């Protein structure tokens, strides 16, 4: 119930902030200069779409920080392996559809990062600005994102997870999709890490295995709430 209330509150806040989403960036005396300049840089470089306002971007950063803390301390997910156990690394066996989330980022230090395994040996993700969707192994993921924790969530229904993995592979593997954060959750020519993962579960199976609507921004740390029936099966701290 607490999770449902949280999602409803977030949806109301999202609607309120996005009613002016197309007004373009505006600065007033109350806006922090450094944060606004960083926002302008992301807009001008094409990382943020024109429909992402400064106010909404600030909300996303604050929500991401809140969700990161919640994810770190959450007891709502069943922990199967713990990185303090020396056998944890070797005992985890990756399956298609596993959702990878890490607090370690390599681009601008925002929002965390996510990917989805498309087989027992390959993780599909888009690393950040200037990148296209790419694959890497579990070892490559852990070596690349080694400055924070990584957690792996698995859907309770393996057939749904496999459908999501297949959709992600068919849609994004070897794709020229560009890294752009916009409000459009339907498009596949512009994407970002958590949108790619969310889309796989939203479009990969009928009925959908993820929450709508198909507008807004999906954060890496919100994926365990916006994708149905995920359980934590592995973490490295």
CATH class (in words) of the domain with range 78-236 = alpha beta
Residue-level pLDDT at 33: 84
User: What is the C-alpha to C-alpha distance for residues 201 and 98, in angstroms, rounded to an integer?
Assistant: 11
pTM to 2 decimals?
0.82
Tell me where in the chain the CATH 3.90.1720.10 domain(s) lie. Answer: 78-236
Q: Which pLDDT belongs to residue 57?
A: 93
Helix orientation angle between 54-73 and 2-18, rounded to the nearest 10 degrees = 170
Contacts of 12 (CB under 8 A, 6+ apart): none
Question: For residue 215, what pLDDT is reported?
Answer: 95
pLDDT at 179: 96
Which two three-digit tokens encode residue 224?
Answer: 């365990």
User: Which residue numbers in the chain have pLDDT < 50?
Assistant: 1-9, 11-27, 29, 77-84, 109
103-138 confidence digits (pLDDT tens): 887 555 467 999 999 999 999 999 999 999 999 999
Look up tokens 């040996």; give the residue. Answer: 121
| Bridge pairing between strands 190-191 and 178-179 | parallel
């Amino acid at each position: 119930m607490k999770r449902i209330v949280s999602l409803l509150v977030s949806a109301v806040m999202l609607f309120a902030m996005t009613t002016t989403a197309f007004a373009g960036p505006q600065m007033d005396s109350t806006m922090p200069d450094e944060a606004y300049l960083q926002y302008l840089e992301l807009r001008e470089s094409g990382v943020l779409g024109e429909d992402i306002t400064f106010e909404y971007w600030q909300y996303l950063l604050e929500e991401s920080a809140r969700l990161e803390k919640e994810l770190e301390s959450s007891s709502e997910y069943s922990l199967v392996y713990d990185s303090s156990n020396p056998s944890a690394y070797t005992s985890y066996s990756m399956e298609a559809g596993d959702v990878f989330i890490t607090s370690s980022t390599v681009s601008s230090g925002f929002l965390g990062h996510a990917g989805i395994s498309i087989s027992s040996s390959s993780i599909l993700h888009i690393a950040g600005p200037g990148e296209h969707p790419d694959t890497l192994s579990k070892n490559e993921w852990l070596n690349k994102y080694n400055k924070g924790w990584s957690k792996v969530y698995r859907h309770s229904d393996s057939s749904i997870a496999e459908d999501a993995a297949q959709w992600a592979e068919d849609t994004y593997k070897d794709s020229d999709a560009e890294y752009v954060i916009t409000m459009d959750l339907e498009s596949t020519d512009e994407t970002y890490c958590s949108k790619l993962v969310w889309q796989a579960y939203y479009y990969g199976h009928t009925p959908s295995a993820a929450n709508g609507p198909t507008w807004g921004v999906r954060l890496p740390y919100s994926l365990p709430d916006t994708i149905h029936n995920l359980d934590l099966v592995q973490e490295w701290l």
